[in-house]
Chains A and B, each alone.
Chain A
Amino acid sequence: MTRPIAKNMEIPVADGEGERYSLRMGPQHPATHGVLRVDLELDGETIVACTPQVGYLHRGFEKLAENKTYAQTLILTDRLDYIAAMANNVGYCVAVERLLGISVPLRAQYIRTMVAEMSRICSHLLWLATHALDIGAMTVFLYCFREREILLDLFEELCGARLTFSYPRIGGVRQDVTVRFIDELQRFLDIFPSRIEEYETLIDTNRIWLKRTVGIGKVTGEEALALGLTGACLRGSGVDYDLRKHQPYDAYGLVDFEVPLGSDGDIYARYRCRMEEMHQSERIIQQCIDQLPPGPIFGPDAPDLVMPNKAPARIEAGTNAYGTGLIKLIRDRNLYLTGDVYVATEVPKGELGFYFISDGNNRPYRMHIRSPSFIHIGALAAIAKGELIADLIANIGSLDVVLGESDR
């Protein structure tokens, strides 16, 4: 015999239940969706204990926000859940509007609903792609990216950015939609249902897919509520909770859609929920296009929150950019109410909440983000315990976590 297998490995303790060992999965691992680290205690391939570790992507957004005006903080929300940045923007704007008491014109509300739902489809497509890849179905990955590309092109057409949009603004949206945008969005909506069918033919009735997802990662409705799950993870367990329906914001109260519910609470139920949500999102977008009213795209009391003050034709060298009014934003506004507000919106991952404490200044005294990914990662420990490593990977994918949002 040469030297033993592991000179730096802990000596396994024989406790009658088999030899246990620890495995650090991540932060660099192909299936941890970013920089999630999971400390595993394993007995063979069975997970005895699972401790998720977050913080590798911490950028201190909540603290940063205390030193930025409300309009400036908007760009930070792009970087929360970077897969569905539009939905975060909308969530943030809705929260600040409620804090400042700003009204949003109907057209802007419809546009924001539309882009938020496009974002939801984007996010769900990326989720399906990576989730399928985690389970080993490689082809679905590229099919999903094909459709996601169309949506990203649409976003580019709308506001020039493909990932970090900052398109919705406090009190409205930045620019109006163009006819071309609506046309191309309509073309996407026409093909999209058939594309969802295409994904479903690949995996929905596949025996291996069913074996890997049905009955795995089970969470009952009560457990899901106790763990704080939201979004499709909660609805997959049969709990009817969707902020779009039950606390409508923007134009969600004006459009007709259903909240798809699962019953089993396993990975397959969550998968079906999200697939149905894509159909519902498509319905919402279609109604937004049909009902889109004419009118202004930002409220009368918030133009300087939407666009910077009128830019000068040329900025002289050496002048202070603030002085030119270009980045003036809302520095001069000092008429805010004091108090606190918690406003939650339904983003693709779940319930994204913003909590503000205002001391009357033009920046929040404290901003807290209730991020669904963070809470879902916390639930991972309870869900994955007793299952196999392969199930852990499927569970991470199924909970749909984004580390940018979790670590914020």
Chain B
Amino acid sequence: MDILLMLLWIVILFAVVMLHVAYATYFERKIIGHMQVRLGPMRVGWHGLLQPIADGIKSFFKEDIVPENADRPTFLAAPIICLVAMLTSLAVLPFAKGWVLADIDIGLLFVFAMSSLASYGVVLAGWSSNSKYSFLGGMRSMAQVISYEISMGLSLVGVMLLAGSLNLSEIVEAQGDRFLGMYLMPQCIGFFVFFISMLAETNRVPFDLPEAETELVSGYSTEYSGMRYAIFFMAEYIGMMVMASIATICFLGGWNGPFPVPFFPPLWFVLKIYLFMFLFIWIRATLPRYRYDQLMGLGWKVLIPMALANIVLTACLKAILD
């Protein structure tokens, strides 16, 4: 019975997240559209509301082309690896008090592990496509994810020190339900580093080098078509949401808000995620793209030293205050 209930929860979570992914693309197109003095999708449904559905159906029925020289099994598996890794990390996210599928003690590490696994999908996609653009995209992605994984992990060490736990629910509870309890204030350096690393980790502008369309055509996904191409995008959007959730949990006090909501406890959590999604989109509409070596320089020479300094600072403060 427990297993059945668990399965039911998984199905519900999956459905809700997939719906969010679909409409995240819609909101992205709509918001960027309005920022760029145009309307965005308008044709399918009222104000283009059914556009994501139409896109989904379209990519589902499109031919799944596998290039002749591609490494077939790897080529076919790569997008699945991305998607599965991203979906799995959803399991440990606490959406509200007790609203979590797997309340494990190493939640934060688990999310990191999964987001690193997802980069395997990207690297393998670039490798197996047997195209030079894809290959370059895969290489860039590998270097980028490895570099920014470090700064991201280090930026959260401060949070771990303060909360004294890796369990995501406990991190939220350690922050209390007051506005001042949020780790955003004591961990502002950590948040800054985390936010930039988050953009890089999800391959978003200004760090979208693995798929830089004007340089590498479409990077690692150049040779993909149809549903497999769409799966990369789903993985990217789920990745954005997971990263936004981690930011919310670790820095913005998770599900806690100014006042508790009676019937739908995750409301504040969801709103905070939307805020981050909006930031992702806003940044995409505003900034140009970094160059590959500049991205590496930023990661290794600025962010990692900052994160290390933050750890020392936090540890010292904690030792003094305790």
Contact = CB atoms under 8 A, between A and B. Distances in A.
Contacts of A212: 288-291, 294
A146 B38 CA distance: 10
Contacts of B289: 135-137, 208, 212, 390
B288 A5 contact: no
Q: Determine the main DSSP class of B at the interface with A.
A: helix
Interface stretch (A23-31, A49-57, A93-101): A23-31
B309 interface: no
A29 B218 CA distance: 10
Given A134-B214, A211-B294, A388-B291, A3 B285 contact: no
A141 B286 CA distance: 11
Contacts of A390: 209, 212, 215, 289, 291-292
B217 A45 contact: no
Contact of B206 (A45, A139, A208): A208
Given A2-B74, A3-B71, A136 B288 contact: yes
A133 interface: yes
B85 to A, nearest CB: 22
Tell me which of B212, B213, B215 has the highest count of chain A C-beta atoms within 10 A of its own C-beta: B215
A204 to B, nearest CB: 12
A30 B214 contact: yes
Interface string B64-82: 0000010101100000000
A211 B285 contact: no
Contacts of A23: 132-133
Contacts of A132: 288
A206 B287 contact: yes
Nearest to B132: A23
Given A208-B289, A390-B292, A45 B69 contact: no
B215 A5 contact: no
B290 A142 contact: no
A9 to B, nearest CB: 8
B292 A208 contact: no
A137 B132 contact: no
Contact of B215 (A2, A6, A137, A393): A393
Contacts of B69: 6-8
B293 interface: yes
Contacts of B130: 5-8
Contacts of B32: 138-139
Nearest to A210: B288
Contact of A142 (B38, B127, B294): B38
Contacts of B294: 211-212
A31 B71 contact: no
Contacts of A7: 69, 130
A136 B208 contact: yes
Interface string B123-143: 000010010110110000000
A21 interface: yes
Interface in B186-211: 205-206, 208-209
A213 to B, nearest CB: 9
Given A29-B217, A30-B213, A212-B291, A202 B286 contact: yes
Given A30-B213, A136-B208, A390-B292, A45 B36 contact: no
Interface string B277-306: 000000011111111111000000000000
A390 B213 CA distance: 11
A251 to B, nearest CB: 34
A9 B131 CA distance: 9
A351 interface: no
A139 B74 CA distance: 37
Contacts of A30: 213-214, 217
Contacts of B205: 136
Given A30-B213, A208-B206, A390-B212, A135 B288 contact: yes
A208 B196 CA distance: 14
A41 to B, nearest CB: 12
A203 interface: yes
A45 B136 contact: yes
Given A2-B71, A142-B36, A137 B288 contact: yes
A143 B215 contact: no
Given A31-B214, A136-B208, A390-B215, A208 B136 contact: no
Contacts of A137: 286-289
10 contacts: A8-B130, A31-B215, A135-B288, A136-B212, A136-B288, A137-B286, A138-B32, A143-B36, A208-B288, A211-B291
Given A136-B206, A212-B289, A212-B290, 20 more contacts: A2-B73, A5-B71, A5-B130, A8-B130, A31-B215, A133-B214, A135-B288, A135-B289, A139-B32, A139-B286, A142-B36, A143-B37, A146-B37, A206-B287, A208-B288, A212-B288, A389-B136, A390-B209, A390-B291, A390-B292
Q: Which 10 A-B pairs have the closest CB atoms?
A: A136-B289, A31-B214, A142-B36, A137-B288, A136-B288, A135-B288, A390-B291, A134-B214, A208-B288, A139-B36
